[in-house]
Amino acid sequence: HRFDTASGEASLRGDGLRFEPDGLQFEDLSERLRGLAVNATGQVIPTVSASWTSSDVKAAGQIELQSVSFSTFRLGQVINLSGALNFNDFINFKTPPGQVFTVERLQITPAFGLENGRISLELLGTQGFQLESARWPFVGGELRIEPTRWIFDEPVQNLSVSAEEWELSRLINLFDIKDLDVQGRVSGEFPIEISGANVFLRNAQLSSVEDGLIRYQGALGEQASTADQYAKMAFDALRNFEYEVLAVGADGNLTDEIVVDLALSGHNPNLLEGQVFNLNISLQSKLAELIQSAVMSASGQATSDALVELVKQKQAAEKN
Amino acid sequence: AHAGDPMIDAAKDQGLIGEQADGYLGAVTSLDAALKRKMDEINTRRRELYTQVASEQGQSLSTIAQISGKKLVEGESSGRYVYDDTGSWVKIP
Amino acid sequence: CTPTVRVATPTEPITINLNVKIDQEVRVKLDKEVEDLITNNPDLF
């Protein structure tokens, strides 16, 4: 500190702080961070240099995060986030663009998580950040969140998610549906609305980028045959269905109930001489339960009842 | 309702915040920053606990949160506000 | 005339809508689990 000009600088090279459940937490760094994240663990290494004149104090520095984990209200649990925040204005909690992080796992709901994320952002102060890019490898392709401004206190946050070459077979595996073999890939973009504790999928539309094949030999087929001849025909077609057109739609709330619509056009070469079918299959479920229940197991004793509601297309069927 | 966090209990008594059917605390009126942050913290801790029960029971997060919300709204004491399924704040007589 | 072989071309597509609803009845056990959660965490509820 130089008394003549009342200015000086100092730098703090912390040997590292450790977030612990009963110890240091975000709100201890700054009360303004209370409520953003709870139960933080992991290593934080701050290097802050401050310089001041008689009129103001400027502080810059870096906070390095090593395998930091915490829970949030809107996005669930962040597990092992690592990277560095380089502050050009530490006091106002601002950084230049291009602060890059890797996130080992983002567990949004008990049933849905994303692994090995790569995120780039610019901190805009304690009110939020500008998300520059966020991408995860996902079911053989990639899931990306398009650039957006994330404001902590904003009750509703809208995101646009793009799906890049998702392999249907691996997407279906997320739902743990046995006896369903699907080949083909889909891409597309869809809006997500995060409001309160809900993560709404708003009419996501993904379409096939190539022809593909679906083979389903599961229990639903047998149950259907008793219920209705059209359903039986649909399931017979699905035993070996070569499709040209396929669209996957999803709507609902990731933390609650999701409706997945599968719209297929194609044929089963050994059914009615390759008669063309337009199949519109709507799968309604609470995502968590679908994953937990072996409802479509080959053995047929579904642990939960699979209710096949049949909507018949009389006109289409009678026309031929 | 049994004593919860003192700051939250006081805010409930003053009609600033209240229990919601979705299992979380909500703002009845606009809140000062400190109370808002405290409410956010409590809600984030609740979501984490709901998540643990949901994964243990193979249920969706909302199912667990709504069961809790129903109990908390029904258990709330008179004079306080609750945000029930009708979608509006109601003062318990 | 040369015999023409008429290949049975697939006629109009058959459109079938199928709604599959997967339900699991909420087990009573859930209620107790949530009740315990509330009583065990007085600072939150």
CB of B6 within 8 Å of any CB in chain C?
A: no
- For chain A, which chains pass the contact test of at least 3 CB pairs under 8 Å? B, C
Rounded Cα distance, A233 and A240, in Å? 12
Rounded Cα distance, A133 and A126, in Å? 20
Residue whose pair of structure tokens reads 């709100």 in the numeric block: A27
**C40 φ/ψ angles, rounded to the nearest 5 degrees:** -80, -10
Backbone dihedral region for residue A21 (phi beyond 0: left; psi -120 to 50: alpha; all else: beta): alpha
Question: A36 burial class (0-12, 13-18, 19+ CB within 10 angstroms)?
Answer: buried
Candidates A108, A83, A104; CA nearest to A254 is A108
The SS3 assignment for C38 reads helix
Element (H, E) at B51: helix B33-57
Average pLDDT on A291-313 reads 34
**A295 φ/ψ angles, rounded to the nearest 5 degrees:** -60, -30
Residue whose pair of structure tokens reads 């790569």 in the numeric block: A118
Q: Evaluate whether A272 touches C9 at the Cβ level (below 8 Å).
A: no
pLDDT tens by residue, A95-147: 999 999 999 999 998 888 999 999 999 999 988 999 999 999 999 999 999 99
Q: Provide residues of A within 8 Å CB-CB of chain C.
A: 220, 230-231, 233-234, 265, 267, 272-286, 289-290, 292-293, 295, 303-313, 316-317, 319-320
CB B5 to CB C44 under 8 A? yes
pLDDT tens by residue, B54-69: 988 888 899 999 999 9
Residues of A in contact with B54 (CB under 8 A): 109-110, 288
Chain C closest-CA separation from residue A306 CA (Å): 5
Closest CB to A316: pick one of C15, C18, C24.
Answer: C15
**A119 φ/ψ angles, rounded to the nearest 5 degrees:** -125, 140
pLDDT tens by residue, A159-207: 999 999 999 888 877 766 677 888 899 999 999 999 988 999 988 889 9
Identify any residues that bridge with A87 across adjacent strands, giving them in sequence order. Answer: A61
Give residue A38's pLDDT: 95
CB of A194 within 8 Å of any CB in chain B?
A: no
Identify any residues that bridge with A149 across adjacent strands, giving them in sequence order. Answer: A130
pLDDT tens by residue, A221-237: 666 656 677 778 888 88
pLDDT tens by residue, B38-51: 999 999 999 999 99
Q: Cβ contacts of residue A4 below 8 Å, gap of 6+?
A: none
Q: Evaluate whether A86 touches A95 at the Cβ level (below 8 Å).
A: yes
Confidence bin at B52 (pLDDT 50/70/90)? very high
| Pairs from A303-308 (Cβ < 8 Å, separation ≥ 24) | A303/C24, A304/C22, A304/C23, A304/C24, A304/C25, A305/C23, A306/A219, A306/A220, A306/A223, A306/C20, A306/C21, A306/C22, A307/C20, A307/C21, A307/C22, A307/C23, A308/A220, A308/A223, A308/A224, A308/A227, A308/A231, A308/C18, A308/C19, A308/C20
Give residue C26's pLDDT: 57
Per-chain mean pLDDT for chain A = 82
Residue B37 has pLDDT above 80, yes or no: yes
Strand extents, DSSP E, chain A: 8-13, 17-19, 38-52, 57-72, 76-87, 99-109, 112-123, 128-138, 141-145, 148-151, 156-167, 180-183, 185-195, 198-208, 212-216, 241-253, 257-267, 276-286, 306-311
Residues of B in contact with C44 (CB under 8 A): 4-5, 42, 45-46, 49
Residue A79 has pLDDT above 70, yes or no: yes
Residue C20 has pLDDT above 90, yes or no: no
Residue B79 has pLDDT above 80, yes or no: yes
Residue A51 has pLDDT above 90, yes or no: no
Chain B closest-CA separation from residue C40 CA (Å): 11
Residue A254 has pLDDT above 60, yes or no: yes
Q: Evaluate whether A78 touches A102 at the Cβ level (below 8 Å).
A: no
